[in-house]
Amino acid sequence: MDNLLSTELWASLLSALLTIMVLSYLIGDNPLFRFAMHLFIGAASGYAGAIAWHNVLKPGLVDPLLSAGISGITDPSIIASVLIPWGLILILLLKLSPRTARAGALPMAILVGVGAAVVVGGALTGTILPQSQAAMESLSPTAVSPMTGETGPERSISVLIMISGTISTLVYFHFSTRRSPSGEQEPIFLEIAGIGVPSPVVMLRWVGQAFIAITFGVMYAGALSATILILAERVEFLMNTVRLILGTAG
């Protein structure tokens, strides 16, 4: 009896039920699936709101103000860390009304400006420059990869593939080729034994297109394997829940 009323059991049952409701999408869009989706979205939103209040707003804007009191309002640290953010929040709330929407542009500008600067700076210093340097690998067989430990021809081949893939992918995204007057996209550059040979840029574009296709294929394969693993875990959970119910009932 206690087992029947245990929280774990009811939680498992509820979870299994929701799992089945979501898996009912196999038969198409149905009310069970919609209910489960609505329930999940609502719960997630509520939970996120609660977390935001307890972890961000209250400890950052409310508790310091309450603890400082009226006399502590003039404290510069309170002013900088509490009052100014409160002011920006109130100004941002003016965007709710169309009449006062223009006044709420200041906090929006701060948010967008700071966010863009951080993202652009991070992309520049964290991705573009380091990755550009990483592409300038040495083709020497004696070199050793620091992380993988590859060396010798294996590493040279890896580097060569990496360089060709980088260049061909960049060429693919460069719109340098134009259509011929007849409408053909790849004009014939040279004819050898009656066979039309396109220009080197066109051929390099084909290679880049192949690399991109392989990359997307690998990403799809990874997503597929992740999905199958998730499905396997859910099926195992359902079976465990059934065993639990049967065990409890038994």
Partner 1 sequence: MEVRCPMCAKLNPEGADECEHCGARITPLVIGDEGTSRAEEVGREEEDWLSRIRDQASQEQDQPAGQAEPSEEDWLGRLREASSETPEEEPLSPERHGDYPATDPDEGKEMPEWLARIRAREAEEVEEPSAVQDDDWLENLRGAAPLDDEGPEELAAEDQPSEEEGDMSPETPPPQEMEFPTGEDREAEIPGWLEASEERQPDAPLPAEEESRTPDLFTEEGAEQEPVSAADEPDSQPFIQDSPSWLQEIMEETSEARKRAEREEVEPSRPVSPTDIEGEPEEPEPEPTPHIPALIFDDEEREGSEFDSGEIDLEGAQLPEWLGEVELEERGVEGEEVEEGEGDLAPATLPTWLEAMRPVDTFQSVVEIETEEDESIESVGPLAGLRGVLMAEPVVAKPRTSPIGSMQLSVTERQYAQAELLNRLVAEEQDEVRVRPEMRLQSSLLRWLMAIIMLLGVAVPTLFGTPSYPLPRFEPVELKPMVNLITRLPADRPILMVFDYDPGYSGELDAVAGPLIDQVMRQGISIASLSTRPTGSAMAVRLLGEIGQQYDYVSGEQLIHMGYLSGGPTAVQLLALAPRSAILQGFNLPAGLQAGGSSVWDTPALREVHELSDFGMVAVISAGTDNARMWAEQAAPRMADTPLVMILSAGSEPMIRPYFEAREPQIQGILSGLPAAVAYEQRNNQVGAAHRHWSAFGSGLMVAELALAGGMVYGVVIWFLRRQ
Contact footprint for partner 1 (CB under 8 A): 26-30, 44, 47-48, 51-52, 54-56, 58-60, 114-115, 118-119, 122-123, 125-127, 130-131, 133-134, 137, 145-149, 215, 218-226, 228-236, 239
For residue 3, count other CB atoms closer than 10 A to its CB: 12
Instruction: Compute the least distance from the CB of residue 70 to partner 1, in Å.
Output: 20
Give whichever of 122 and 153 is closer to partner 1, judged by the CB atom: 122
As measured in angstroms, the least distance from the Cβ of 192 to partner 1 is: 27
Nearest to 111 by CA among 93, 90, 88: 88
Residue 195: what are its φ and ψ, rounded to 5°?
-105, 130
Toward partner 1, which CB reaches closer, 147 or 246?
147
CB 171, min distance to partner 1, A: 19
In terms of CB distance, is 109 or 231 closer to partner 1?
Answer: 231
Distance, CA of 241 to CA of 17 (rounded, Å) = 10
Q: Which is nearer to partner 1, 115 or 153 (CB)?
A: 115
CB of 105 to partner 1, least distance (A): 19
H helix runs in the chain, sequence order: 2-5, 7-23, 31-52, 63-68, 76-78, 84-93, 105-123, 129-135, 152-172, 200-249
Measured CA to CA, the distance from residue 172 to residue 108 in angstroms comes to: 38
Of 203 and 238, which has the nearer Cβ to partner 1? Answer: 238
Which position has the token pair 């400006």?
113
Shortest Cβ 121–partner 1 spacing (Å): 9
